[in-house]
A and B are shown apart, each in its own frame.
Chain A
Amino acid sequence: MSSPHAHQAHAPQGFIRKYVFSLDHKVIGIQYYFLGLFSVLIGMSLSLLMRYHMVNPNVSVGWFGKLWPTAAAGGIMTPELYLSLMTMHGTIMVFFVLTTVPQSGFGNYFLPIQIGAEDMAFPVLNMMSFWTTFLALVVMVSAFFVQGGAPLAGWTAYPPLSAAGRITGPGEGMGQNLWIISIAIFCGASLMGAINFIATLVDLRCKGMTLMRMPLTCWTWLVTAILGLLGFAVLLAAGVLLILDRTVGTSFFLPAGLMINDKIITGHSGGSPLLWQHLFWFFGHPEVYIAILPGMGVASQLLSTFSRKPVYGYKAMVYAILSIGFLGFLVWGHHMFMSGLNPYSAMAFATLTMCIGVPSAIKTFNWLGTLWGGKIHFTTAMLFALGFVSLFVTGGVSGIFLGQPALDLYFHDTYFVVGHFHMIMGVAAIFGMFGGTYFWFPKMFGRMMNETIGKIHFYATFIGVYAIFTPMHMLGIVGNPRRYADFTNVEYLSGVMNVHQFMSYAAYLTAAVQVLFLFNLFWSLKKGKPATENPWNCTTLEWGIPSPPPFDNFAGVHPVVYRGAYEYSLPGVKEDYVMQTDPTPVRTEA
């Protein structure tokens, strides 16, 4: 941990100091971004393998057999392999994509700049938090390569399946241990990040940057950091208890009288599988808000900038972010309605869950209100923000079904749930990241991304994700259970195999389209049109410095902020935007 003084007075020299062990929050943000990009490609590949198997369970694929000689002998994926791909898909996506890119990626890069600071409060800690996350990813991926392979208990790792060890299935040996260790390392990295974000936001804002003048992105990064701080701590505790049950014979989660694979399990008794669920979901629910809040912040930023209008109801948006954060800690039981949880507490959790729908609704109304009366410029970034709103509505409303225990009696563990969380996390949050990329790429790399390719990417992806994930709600209504390697054993599912086929094809096509994004990203890094300081005529602080910024952001000039973040189209002002740092007095009949 070093003090804010410790960042260099001069730019770092040498490849290692500049690009590997950099203390510069901008470099670290980019490192996190590319770690996330790498992880999403792995996660997406796993999901394509899953979607293929679900509709072709008995088809032999030559290279499956080469890649997994035991788990896909003869080129046919075994159910245990399917489940381990599923487990790793969920884990990698939730932790290494959704928790890193929006917060540690964009947040690291832009939080200090948007509040007028030279760097994060603790640059050395920041550097360590990235490399710790990297280590966690290495350990996680290594689970694929050990005896038995990756764990198969889902990203939720419910005991006894995850606690009783190798006898519950392949991958439940070393693979599950590595999973737990990786998550524990990730918790540490997360804590380091949270310390930096909160200290920076609380103490390093420049003159005039009051809390209520901060861009909404900063508010989301603040609340997300607090959620991560408190939530990951509990996950760490849970992980410690789980690994002890697995390795040294404790019984936190394992009850007596288990008989697995015809073997009576002695040596464990008195534990509660429900205890794990409480601890896990106490973390797990705030985690999903960690995944979506920064995306909401980006959406607000983009919708305002490209409508040339202030954010509708800024204060209400702030209160909504704060209440989502607070209420997010009180609703974990809605993941446990069918678990054997006390039915009275289920009703309490249900009521609170309905409450948390309210601030989300407020945000949606306010996004629409921001557009209303605006002057919309359809840049690729804006398209993704508009797509975000549409997808957030679609994904959010299915929560109204699931938040009612009475309806969850049918929908729990069906594809209705899978559709819900993919729409929100797997799509809306990703659109937030895409929007952020197209928006901030010029600032980060000094070049513009190609708008034409970007627009094709948007339209194809937008239609594609609707095609993949909305049918899942119909499958849920049919009663399609989740986490099934294939559907050949349930007669009532024979009628929906065409839906599954459709979704699989939609998945392959949408995945293929992402090549356009990758091409655009990497090609523009070198060959994109050079970017000006403020190509979008945006008001926040990062658009008042060069593209890309100098190593100390403001080149020794200390910014002073005179107004809020979204002063667009002020009457009586010639330009349709006023920078936050612009001291010119302007008057309106507000």
Chain B
Amino acid sequence: MSMSGSLTQDTIQGPPPPPIDRGWGGGGSGSGGGEGRGADRRASFTALFVLLAASTMVFAAFTSAFVVRKGLSDDWVSMPKPPILLVNTLVLLASSFALDLSRRALKAGNRSRFNLWWSAGTGLGVLFLAGQAVAWHQLLQAGVFVATNPSSSFFYVLTASHAFHLVGGLAALVYVDIQAWRLQLGPAKRTTIDIAALFWHFLDGLWVYLMILFYVWG
């Protein structure tokens, strides 16, 4: 976002010489060619960051509600957390790690290793969701429902919101996975892979944050 071509410069010295027309150029959308894909890729990353900003705000709002509600009244009873949550955390971290290994493999040109590690990451992601379902089941069996206590209310709201985001992330992972095994991952899909992996890492970080919130303050 350069500020070249300021108003005063334009009017005193005249505009800069016309550029060589190479298509849409620095800031435009394109119809093929290196620059086109460049803008395409940049726009996708901007979109991802915008989405992450919004998600962050949702969880920031939930967090501030959490803090306020806890501080307000003395009816907060720390909810017993099923130990499987710790296992799920490790599974999610492992899935991020696997995705990272797969991207490295792709960079090195090793398609089959990419496929294997990406599938592993996707599979671990599914495992995480299954583990979350188990955790919820255990809580329900123990009589801990969403309205039982503010602590449990926030637990369910936060884990459900996280899972909602995760399902979206998983859909992206599965899409890439299918394309990978069909050997239809051309260079144009590189951006999709990066965006999906970054979103997944965000969800990972978010989950670790939520775990800290639950165990330290919840």
Contact = CB atoms under 8 A, between A and B. Distances in A.
B142 interface: no
Contacts of B60: 234
A270 interface: yes
A5 B75 contact: no
A562 B10 contact: yes
Contact of B54 (A119, A121, A230): A230
A575 interface: no
B69 A117 contact: no
B7 A212 contact: yes
B146 interface: yes
B24 interface: yes
Interface stretch (B14-22, B94-102, B125-133): B14-22
Contact of A210 (B1, B37, B161): B1
Interface string A220-236: 00000000011011101
Interface stretch (B39-47, B104-112, B179-187, B201-209): B39-47
B15 to A, nearest CB: 4
B42 A203 contact: yes
Nearest to A190: B54
Contacts of B27: 115-116, 203-207, 209
A116 B60 CA distance: 36
B4 to A, nearest CB: 6
A212 B50 contact: no
Contacts of A194: 50, 54
Nearest to A202: B46
Nearest to B195: A1
B43 A272 contact: no
B6 interface: yes
Contacts of B58: 233-234, 236-237
Contact of B50 (A116, A229, A279): A229
B71 to A, nearest CB: 10
B2 interface: yes
B87 interface: no
Q: Which of A200, A211, A233, A570 has the most CB of B within 10 A?
A: A233
29 contacts: A3-B40, A4-B39, A5-B40, A191-B54, A198-B46, A198-B50, A200-B43, A202-B1, A207-B28, A210-B1, A229-B50, A229-B57, A230-B53, A230-B54, A237-B62, A240-B157, A248-B146, A270-B69, A271-B72, A272-B68, A272-B72, A279-B65, A558-B21, A562-B5, A562-B10, A564-B10, A586-B11, A587-B13, A588-B12
A206 B24 contact: yes
A68 to B, nearest CB: 35
Contacts of B157: 240-241, 244
A203 B69 contact: no
A154 interface: no
A248 B147 contact: yes
Interface in B127-163: 145-147, 150, 153, 157, 161
Nearest to A125: B47
A490 to B, nearest CB: 35
A118 interface: yes
Interchain residue pairs A-B with the least CB separation, the first 6: A585-B14, A249-B147, A233-B57, A237-B61, A4-B29, A270-B73
B28 A229 contact: no
B5 A233 contact: no
Given A233-B54, A269-B73, A211 B3 contact: yes
Contacts of B32: 5
Interface of B: 1-8, 10-16, 18-19, 21, 23-32, 36-37, 39-40, 42-44, 46-47, 50-51, 53-62, 64-65, 68-69, 72-73, 75-76, 145-147, 150, 153, 157, 161, 188, 191
A216 to B, nearest CB: 13
A5 B15 contact: no
A583 B10 CA distance: 11
A201 to B, nearest CB: 9
A252 interface: yes
A278 interface: yes
A585 B15 contact: yes
A121 B47 contact: yes
Given A229-B54, A237-B65, 6 more contacts: A9-B31, A118-B28, A198-B50, A210-B5, A233-B55, A252-B65
B6 A229 contact: no
A205 B28 contact: yes
A252 B47 contact: no
A80 B6 CA distance: 58
Contacts of A198: 46-47, 50
A373 B157 CA distance: 59
Contact of A560 (B19, B62, B147): B19
A587 B11 contact: yes
Contacts of A357: none
B146 A590 contact: no
A300 interface: no
Contacts of B57: 229-230, 233-234, 237
Contacts of A278: 64, 68
B15 A562 contact: yes
Contacts of B25: 206-207, 558, 560
A200 to B, nearest CB: 7
A239 to B, nearest CB: 10
Interface in A177-204: 191, 194-196, 198-200, 202-204
A250 B43 contact: no
B65 A1 contact: no
Contacts of A205: 27-28
A318 B199 CA distance: 32
A119 B28 CA distance: 10
A230 B10 CA distance: 36
